[in-house]
């Protein structure tokens, strides 16, 4: 089934024409409503009239996460506050999160895009669907939720946490579909096994997995343990949230909702656009967004756009799975974590040397984070044999880290010079999860 064949299956030429028209309109809109873009375009000697077809997009400036941060909180918002009906936030690098406001029309487009994804996965009115992404500031929960309501399935807003209760609900309600991170799906499978719920007792058949990278071997394991078919769901808050792209039944790449989010692949070093098929950094321009439209937003996600047609009948371009990032962002339990956030906390406490290490692992299918930090010599000498002081310091650091990162970390205090010095480029992260 296809939710919106008019848009998902339109001819390439027709779609390009629509994209060109929308691009012109969005450039005109930000030119008049967002001083940041007006100044950028003026600096480049561009006016909205220079942007007529979709191929003109390469003339436009890029937007980065730093631009969003520098304009915190509402600097890039194009619509007046009275038109904004929802605000989400995604974790930033250091300090400010990224704030994204949506108008009523934006929420409608988002729901429609999410409905396209769910329909491609085979979800319909008869399904009972559990949304187990986090609700709240994160876009995962409410984003998926609206889509499930739009397709007319029964939504169960389970969110994350309380996994035993959730497992029982899956059995007792006959839940048939679930949206969550792939690592949560494995954790759920494990919890079910522990409390004695077998896959024969449940009716789950479809999973919408995303918000973090995952591999084919994870897919196989989830499918085998839960007895379901797992589909990729990709998105990011700066562009919309989940539903930017989705796998169809062919499961050969993820179709991009490109009548709303125009994709390009660039070389992250030279910023040159790359032809279809070549791997590089994914860049999106929102073609219809009113709240916070972005021009050529650098996602930092690495992948390629696939040439050729898909057997499902959709004509929208497909992207390959994300193979990595062109920055150092980690995704731990679905939350974006930058080593620089840890650094800012460590530097803000006088007891520590500016030397730290993040150790990320996956134990029983749950991501773990350990932060090792070196004590300064003076502090180490002064408190060497006072365990109470060390304990207090450890707790203080852990609580600061939790408030900055939004996830808990195990803190390990180290003696001066205990953290290994690397030769050359310093190594701040050891990721043992083996996600490639």
Query: What's the rounded Cα separation, in Å, for the pair 254 and 251?
Result: 7
Binds ligand ADP (CB under 6 A): choice among 236, 312, 337, 401: 236
Binds Zn ion (CB under 5 A): choice among 248, 330, 357, 393: 248
Should residue 310 be labelled a site residue for Zn ion when binding is judged by CB under 5 A? yes
Query: What's the rounded Cα separation, in Å, for the pair 107 and 134?
Result: 18
Residue 101: closest CA among 295, 241, 211, 210: 241
Among 170-178, 207-215, 285-293, 385-393, which window interacts with ligand ADP (CB under 6 A)? Answer: 207-215
By beta carbon distance, the residue nearest ligand ADP is 210
Window 265-304: contact mask with Zn ion (x via CB under 5 A): ----------------------------------------
Nearer to ligand ADP, 111 or 299 (CB): 299
Nearer to ligand ADP, 119 or 232 (CB): 232
Q: Which does 48 bind (CB under 5 to 8 A by kind): ligand ADP, Zn ion, none?
A: none
Nearer to ligand ADP, 20 or 210 (CB): 210
Residue pointed to by tokens 């953290």: 419
Compute the Cα dihedral for 196, 199, 202, 205 and give only its sign: positive
Conformation bin of residue 271: beta by default, left when phi > 0, alpha when psi is -120 to 50: left
Should residue 250 be labelled a site residue for Zn ion when binding is judged by CB under 5 A? yes
- The total of other beta-carbon atoms located within 10 Å of residue 311's CB is 10
- The total of other beta-carbon atoms located within 10 Å of residue 263's CB is 21
Should residue 211 be labelled a site residue for ligand ADP when binding is judged by CB under 6 A? yes
Should residue 117 be labelled a site residue for Zn ion when binding is judged by CB under 5 A? no
Residue 211: closest CA among 162, 250, 245: 245
The number of angstroms, rounded, from the C-alpha of 251 to the middle of its chain's C-alpha atoms is 20
Minimal distance in Å, beta carbon 231 to Zn ion?
Answer: 11
Query: What's the rounded Cα separation, in Å, for the pair 414 and 354?
Result: 12
Minimal distance in Å, beta carbon 366 to ligand ADP?
Answer: 18
Minimal distance in Å, beta carbon 232 to ligand ADP?
Answer: 5
Residue 312 DSSP label: T
Binds ligand ADP (CB under 6 A): choice among 23, 180, 233, 409: 233
Should residue 177 be labelled a site residue for ligand ADP when binding is judged by CB under 6 A? no
Residue pointed to by tokens 């180490």: 380
The b-or-e profile of 208-229 (16+ CB within 10 A means b, else e) is bbbbbbbeeebbebbeebbebb
Residues of this chain, 128-147, that bind ligand ADP according to CB under 6 A:
138-140
Minimal distance in Å, beta carbon 147 to Zn ion?
Answer: 18
Q: Which does 63 bind (CB under 5 to 8 A by kind): Zn ion, ligand ADP, none?
A: none
Binds ligand ADP (CB under 6 A): choice among 179, 295, 319, 322: 322
Minimal distance in Å, beta carbon 249 to Zn ion?
Answer: 7
- DSSP E strands in 25-176: the ranges are 84-90, 98-103, 128-131, 154-156
Should residue 284 be labelled a site residue for ligand ADP when binding is judged by CB under 6 A? no
Task: Please answer whether residues 221 and 81 qualify as being in contact, where contact means their C-beta atoms are separated by less than 8 angstroms.
Answer: no
Q: Where are the alpha helices (DSSP H) in 214-338?
A: 216-226
Should residue 263 be labelled a site residue for ligand ADP when binding is judged by CB under 6 A? no
Query: What's the rounded Cα separation, in Å, for the pair 185 and 208?
Result: 10
Tokens of 402: 């939790």
Query: What's the rounded Cα separation, in Å, for the pair 98 and 112?
Result: 24
Binds Zn ion (CB under 5 A): choice among 312, 345, 360, 393: 312
The number of angstroms, rounded, from the C-alpha of 241 to the middle of its chain's C-alpha atoms is 7
Q: Within 13 Å, how many C-alpha atoms sit on residue 165's CB side?
A: 8
Window 332-351: contact mask with ligand ADP (x via CB under 6 A): ----x---------------
Should residue 253 be labelled a site residue for ligand ADP when binding is judged by CB under 6 A? no
Q: How many residues bind ligand ADP (CB under 6 A)?
A: 21
Window 286-315: contact mask with ligand ADP (x via CB under 6 A): -------------x-x--------------
Task: Please answer whether residues 351 and 382 qualify as being in contact, where contact means their C-beta atoms are separated by less than 8 angstroms.
Answer: no
Nearer to Zn ion, 189 or 248 (CB): 248
Should residue 235 be labelled a site residue for ligand ADP when binding is judged by CB under 6 A? yes
Minimal distance in Å, beta carbon 134 to ligand ADP?
Answer: 9
Query: What's the rounded Cα separation, in Å, for the pair 333 and 319?
Result: 23
Binding site for ligand ADP (CB under 6 A): 90, 138-140, 210-213, 232-237, 241-242, 299, 301, 322, 331, 336
Binding site for Zn ion (CB under 5 A): 248, 250, 310, 312, 314
């Amino acid at each position: 089934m296809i939710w919106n064949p008019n848009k998902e299956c339109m001819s390439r030429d027709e779609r390009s024409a629509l994209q060109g028209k929308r691009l012109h309109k969005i450039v005109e809109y930000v030119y008049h409503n967002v001083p940041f873009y007006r100044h950028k375009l003026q600096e480049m000697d561009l006016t909205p009239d220079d942007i007529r077809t979709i191929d003109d997009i390469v003339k436009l400036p890029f937007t980065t996460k730093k631009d969003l941060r520098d304009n915190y909180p509402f600097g890039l918002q194009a619509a007046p506050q009275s038109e904004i009906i929802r605000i989400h936030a995604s974790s930033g690098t250091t300090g400010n999160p990224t704030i994204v406001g949506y108008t009523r029309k934006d929420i409608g487009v988002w729901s429609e895009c999410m409905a396209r994804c769910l329909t491609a996965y085979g979800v319909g009115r008869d399904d009972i669907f559990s949304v187990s992404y986090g609700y709240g500031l994160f876009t995962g929960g409410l984003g998926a939720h609206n889509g499930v309501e739009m397709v007319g399935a029964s939504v169960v807003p389970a969110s994350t946490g309380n996994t035993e209760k959730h497992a029982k609900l899956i059995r007792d309600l006959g839940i048939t579909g679930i949206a969550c991170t792939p690592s949560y799906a494995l954790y759920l499978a494990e919890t079910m096994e522990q409390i004695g719920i077998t896959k024969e007792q449940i009716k789950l058949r479809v999973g919408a997995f995303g918000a973090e990278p995952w591999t084919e071997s994870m897919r196989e394991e989830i499918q085998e343990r839960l007895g379901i078919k797992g589909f990729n769901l990709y998105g990011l808050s700066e562009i919309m949230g989940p539903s930017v792209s989705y796998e169809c039944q062919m499961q050969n790449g993820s179709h991009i909702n490109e009548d709303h989010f125009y994709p390009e692949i660039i070389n992250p070093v030279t910023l040159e656009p790359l032809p279809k098929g070549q791997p590089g950094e994914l860049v999106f321009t929102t073609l219809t967004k009113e709240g916070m439209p972005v021009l050529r937003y650098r996602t930092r996600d690495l992948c390629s756009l696939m040439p050729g047609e898909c057997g499902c009948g959709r004509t929208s371009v497909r992207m390959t799975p994300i193979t990595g990032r062109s920055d150092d962002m980690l995704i731990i339990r679905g939350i974006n974590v930058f080593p620089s956030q840890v650094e800012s906390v460590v530097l803000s406490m006088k007891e520590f040397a500016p030397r730290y290490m993040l150790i990320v692992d996956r134990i029983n299918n749950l991501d773990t984070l350990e932060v090792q930090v070196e004590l300064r010599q003076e502090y180490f000498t002064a408190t060497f044999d006072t365990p109470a002081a060390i304990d207090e310091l450890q707790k203080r650091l852990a609580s600061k880290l939790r408030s900055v990162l939004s996830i808990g970390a195990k803190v390990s205090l180290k003696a001066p010079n205990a953290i290994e010095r690397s030769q050359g480029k310093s190594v701040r992260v050891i990721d043992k999860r083996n996600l490639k």
